[in-house]
Amino acid sequence: MFDRLWNKRLSLHILLVNLGSILLPLIIFCVCLLSTFYQNIYQRTKTECETLLNEYVKNIEAHVQELFFFDFSYGNNAKVTSLMSRQLNDGVISYADNKAIDIVNLFFYTNSKAKSYLVSSYFYYPNDQGYFFSSIDGVKRLDEYYDNDWLPEWETRRNDSWCVPRSMNQFGYTINFISLYHQLKNNVLFVHNINLNYLKNTYLNLRMSQNQQIVMIHQQYGLILSSLDEKGEEACAAIQSMQSGNQIMLDNQRYYVFSKESSLLNVVFHVIIPPRDIFQYLGDVRDLQYIFVVLIIVFVFILSAFHLYRELCGVNEIVQLFERAKKNESIQPTAKKRIPMEYRYIIDHILTHFIEKNYLIERAHAYKYRYDSMKLVALQSQINPHFIFNVLESINWSIIEQTKKPIAANAMIGDLSALLRISLTNPNEMISMAEEIENAKRYIRLQNAHYQNQIAFKWKVDSDSKNVSVMKMTLQPLIENCLLHGFQVSREDAQINLVIYTVESKTHIIVRDNGVGIEQKKLEDLRRFLTDMPDNSYTHIGLANLYGRLNVIYNQQATMQIDSLPGHGTTVHLSFPRQ
Amino acid sequence: MHKILIADDDERITKGLSTFFPWEKFGFTVVGMVKNGKEAIDFIHQHDVDVLICDIRMPDGNGFDVAQRLKDENRNIKVVFVTAYRDFSYAKRAIDLGVCGFITKPTQFNEIENVIKRLYDPPEKSGSVSGEEQRISRIVEYINRNLANVCLSDLALYLDMNPQYLSRYFRQEMHINFSDYLLKQRMEKAAFLLQNTTLKGYQISEYVGYANVQDFSRVFKKYYSLSPRDFRHGKTPNV
Q: Please list the residues that pair with A577 across neighbouring strands.
A: A506
Is B188 at the interface with chain A, CB within 8 A? yes
Q: Which long-range contacts (CB under 8 A, 24 or more apart) does B41-48 make?
A: B41/B66, B41/B69, B43/B5, B44/B5, B44/B70, B44/B75, B44/B77, B47/B3, B47/B5, B48/B3
- Amino acid code (one letter) for A373: S
Is A396 at the interface with chain B, CB within 8 A? yes
The Cα–Cα gap between B57 and B66 comes to 11
How close is the nearest chain B Cα to the Cα of A390, in Å? 7
- Residue B126: the pLDDT is 47
pLDDT in tens, A7-26: 777 778 877 887 788 778 88
Shortest CA distance from A573: residue in chain B: B197
Which residues have a Cβ under 8 Å from the Cβ of A153 and sit 6 or more positions away? A164, A179, A181
Q: Are A81 and A188 in contact (CB under 8 A)?
A: yes
- Residue A70's closest CA among A195, A160, A184? A184
- Residue B47, burial from CB neighbour count under 10 angstroms (0-12, 13-18, 19+): exposed
- pTM for the whole thing? 0.53
CA-based Rg of chain B, rounded to a whole angstrom? 27
The whole-chain average pLDDT of chain A stands at 81
- Residue A283: the pLDDT is 66
- Residue B239: the pLDDT is 46
Q: Count of CB contacts below 8 A, A vs B? A: 90
The Cα–Cα gap between A416 and A398 comes to 17
Question: pLDDT at residue A304 above 70?
Answer: yes
DSSP conformation letters of A199-226: HIIIIIT--SSTT-EEEEEETTTEEEEE
Q: Which residues of B touch A384 (CB under 8 A)?
A: none
- Residue A318, burial from CB neighbour count under 10 angstroms (0-12, 13-18, 19+): middle
Q: Are B173 and B153 in contact (CB under 8 A)?
A: no
- Closest by Cβ to B20, choosing from A394, A400, A462: A400
Question: pLDDT at residue B124 above 60?
Answer: no
The DSSP code for B128 is P
- Closest by Cβ to B107, choosing from A396, A502, A504: A396
Within its chain, how far is the Cα of A346 from the centroid? Answer: 27
The Cα–Cα gap between A42 and A167 comes to 38
Which residues have a Cβ under 8 Å from the Cβ of B173 and sit 6 or more positions away? B132, B136
Tell me the residue ranges of DSSP E strands in A526-568.
Answer: 559-565
Task: Tell me if B197 and A510 make a contact (CB, 8 A cut-off).
Answer: yes
The Cα–Cα gap between A384 and A381 comes to 10
Least confident of A204-208, A288-292, B178-182, B217-221: A204-208
- Residue A500: the pLDDT is 92
The Cα–Cα gap between A270 and A93 comes to 50
- Residue A393: the pLDDT is 87
How close is the nearest chain B Cα to the Cα of A321, in Å? 58
Is A458 at the interface with chain B, CB within 8 A? no
Q: Which residues of A touch B197 (CB under 8 A)?
A: 499, 501, 508, 510
DSSP conformation letters of A60-85: HHHHHHHHHHHHHHHHT-HHHHHHHH
- Closest by Cβ to A385, choosing from B57, B85, B147: B85
User: Residue A459: left (phi > 0), alpha (psi -120 to 50), or beta?
Assistant: beta
The Cα–Cα gap between A484 and A492 comes to 16
Band (A335; pLDDT cuts 50, 70, 90): low
The DSSP code for A144 is G
Task: Tell me if A397 and B16 make a contact (CB, 8 A cut-off).
Answer: yes
Band (B237; pLDDT cuts 50, 70, 90): low
Is B202 at the interface with chain A, CB within 8 A? no
Which residues have a Cβ under 8 Å from the Cβ of A320 and sit 6 or more positions away? A2, A334
Averaged pLDDT for residues B13-23: 87
pLDDT in tens, B64-84: 888 888 888 888 888 998 887
Task: Tell me if A406 and B109 make a contact (CB, 8 A cut-off).
Answer: yes
The Cα–Cα gap between A154 and A146 comes to 17
How close is the nearest chain B Cα to the Cα of A502, in Å? 9
Is A426 at the interface with chain B, CB within 8 A? no
Question: pLDDT at residue A533 above 70?
Answer: no
The Cα–Cα gap between A521 and A456 comes to 29
ipTM for the assembly: 0.81
Q: Are A215 and A205 in contact (CB under 8 A)?
A: no
The Cα–Cα gap between B228 and B157 comes to 34
Do the strands B78-83 and B51-55 form a parallel or antiparallel pair, or are they unpaired? parallel
Band (A571; pLDDT cuts 50, 70, 90): very high
Question: pLDDT at residue A491 above 70?
Answer: yes
Question: pLDDT at residue A76 above 50?
Answer: yes
pLDDT in tens, A418-449: 888 888 777 778 889 998 998 998 998 888 88
Question: pLDDT at residue B131 above 90?
Answer: no
Task: Tell me if A406 and B16 make a contact (CB, 8 A cut-off).
Answer: no
The counts of H helices and E strands in chain B are: 12, 5
CA distances from A429 to A67, A385, A424, A436, A439 (A): 130, 19, 11, 11, 14
pLDDT in tens, A376-388: 766 666 677 778 8
Q: Which residues of A touch B144 (CB under 8 A)?
A: 463-464, 502
The Cα–Cα gap between B221 and B227 comes to 5
